Amino acid sequence: MHKPVVVGRPVVSRVLLVGQAPGDKEPVFGRPFAWTAGKTLFKWFHGALGWSEDETRDRLYFAAVCRCFPGKKESGGDRVPDDDEIAACSRWLAAEMALLQPALVLPVGKLAISQFMPTAPLNDLIGKKYRIEFRGHALDCIPLPHPSGASPWHRMEPGKTLLRQALALVARHPAILG
């Protein structure tokens, strides 16, 4: 008789972190936010909550708007998924939301934020908590900027202050505390 193979730990999280799409390194390492943007993201959580990368991965469920690496832009950098790619992957995010029924969603970056809220400048969105409904599920939403090295938004004002405000809201949220 063969024993089943368990890959990873079961996830029981009330917090769903939603990124844009995997980069080219994520399939190699087998986990989301595995490269430069991840290093920044995990520094944010360490600074605000005292969590290591492993603790953050254990406490949050990581999802993405687009499930596959969309490829590189001709000018360099990762390409943003197009509307057809987003639509093709939308059932995954809907299923994850239905299964987990999170109390809090943390959309990371403009593309992820746009899946949950109307499009607006980051200065108007970051640093606030919103009560939203996503496909019939009511939950809180605290948008975060993308931690990409290509984006200076989170490294200069007002982005630095708004990011600190957003992370403080995350740290005080009941889904994090309880």
Residue 7 has pLDDT above 90, yes or no: no
**Mean predicted confidence (pLDDT) in 71-85:** 88
Of the candidates 131, 144, 64, which has an alpha carbon nearest to the alpha carbon of residue 97?
Answer: 64
Q: What is the fold of 15-177?
A: Uracil-DNA Glycosylase, subunit E (3.40.470)
- 3-class state of residue 98 by DSSP: helix
DSSP letter string, 22-60: --SSHHHHTSSS-SHHHHHHHHHHHHHH---HHHHHHHS
pLDDT tens readout for residues 89-115: 999 999 999 999 999 999 999 999 999
DSSP letter string, 148-178: -TT--GGGSTTHHHHHHHHHHHHHH-HHHH-
The residue ranges of every structural domain in the chain are: 15-177
Amino acid occupying residue 39? K
Highest mean pLDDT among 25-39, 59-73, 93-107: 93-107
- For residues 65 and 111, the answer to whether their CB atoms sit within 8 Å is yes
Q: Give the whole-angstrom CA distance, residue 160 versus residue 145.
A: 10
